[in-house]
Amino acid sequence: MQARLIMSKKKKKAVVLLSGGLDSATTLYIAKNKGFEPYGLIFDYGQKHLKEIVQAKRIAKVAQCSFKVVKVSFPWKGSSLLDKKIKIPKKRSLERIKKEIPSTYVPSRNIIFLSFASSFAESIGAIAIFIGANAVDYSGYPDCRPEFIVSFQEILDKGTKSGVCKKRIKIYAPLISKTKAQIIKIGLKLKVPYRLTWSCYQGGQKPCGVCDSCLLRQKGFDAIKFKDPSLK
């Protein structure tokens, strides 16, 4: 009887894609709030700076979440986040940000990241993958849209041992249809350490304030009239 009681207290495992940004940190805390035991997956994929990796580790430690850092390579570049010769867009209007896919798009990044996450999930017996993809206040990336998440779920259901054996690994994208303001409100309630998050595409001591990610982040905090903790 005692053994059964111990087993019943075990939390269900979930892999959480953790970039160090506002959305992924909020997603981590949502997973915890849902009762999952989170396993962070952080990627070093050749981005121009390592600031987000450092912050992702700090967030994981504060959240008492185990994590792995996976190093992958995009030798063909194809993005201003990877190629020093391509400038990161600055001071784009919010209207333009929503309409165009910018040079910061990394070809097939979320396809690759979710593939790693699914392999990790199967190996540790996790039943869920959490990703902080957002399709409202975002830079127009095609791999952050609802139809992409639905399609990748079908791939996992049909192309993994877990899927064909009816032990589905479910993809959760809890922020997919929310504005930055709504995301921040959720995070504040869950006590997400936003002071540790790093959203800027640059890697300086302070956020640049003019790249797409900084502008969208600031829009969210301005909307709820709350000072961004990372700027204090």
Q: Is residue 5 part of a domain?
A: no
Domain count for the chain, please give it: 1
pLDDT for residue 68: 98
pLDDT of residue 100: 85
The average pLDDT across 36-64 equals: 96
Residue 3 belongs to a domain: no
Evaluate if residue 232 carries a pLDDT over 90. Answer: no
Each as own residue / partner, the long-range contacts of residues 135-138 (CB below 8 Å, 24 or more positions apart, any chain) are: 135/176, 135/177, 136/177, 136/178, 136/179, 136/180, 137/179, 137/180, 137/216, 137/219, 137/220, 138/98, 138/216
Query: Is 99 among the domain residues?
Result: yes
In a domain, 4, yes or no: no
The whole-number pLDDT of residue 9 equals 62
CA–CA gap between residue 155 and residue 139 (Å, rounded)? 25
In this prediction, residue 2 carries a pLDDT of: 44
Tell me what the pLDDT averaged over the chain comes to.
Answer: 93
Q: Which tens digits make up the pLDDT trace of 82-124? A: 999 999 999 988 878 877 899 999 999 999 999 999 999 999 9
Query: How many angstroms separate the Cα of 173 from the Cα of each of 10, 102, 130, 208?
Result: 23, 22, 6, 28
Would you list the DSSP string of the chain?
-HHHHHHHTPPEEEEEE--SSHHHHHHHHHHHHTTEEEEEEEEE---S-SHHHHHHHHHHHHTT-EEEEEE---TT--STTT-TTSPPPBS--HHHHHHS--TT--TTHHHHHHHHHHHHHHHHT--EEE----SSSS---GGGSHHHHHHHHHHHHHHSHHHHTT---EEE-TTTT--HHHHHHHHHHTT--GGG----SS-SSS--S-BHHHHHHHHHHHHTT---GGG-
Tell me the average pLDDT across 12-36. Answer: 98
Kindly state whether residue 1 falls inside one of the protein's structural domains.
Answer: no
Q: What is the pTM of this model?
A: 0.93
Q: For 122-181, what is each residue's pLDDT tens digit?
A: 999 999 999 999 999 888 899 999 999 999 999 999 999 999 999 999 999 999 999 999
Asked if 39 and 66 touch (Cβ cutoff 8 Å), the reply is: yes
Instruction: Determine the Cα–Cα distance for residues 110 and 131; give it in Å rounded to an integer.
Output: 9
Give the domain extent around 124. 11-231
Share of the chain above pLDDT 90, in %: 86
Residue 34 has pLDDT above 80, yes or no: yes
Domain assignment present for 2: no
Token digits of residue 216 = 């969208």
Residue 6 within any structural domain of the chain: no
| Residue 193, domain CATH | 3.40.50.620
In a domain, 136, yes or no: yes
Q: What is the pLDDT of residue 10?
A: 78
- The yes-or-no verdict on residue 197 having pLDDT over 90 is yes
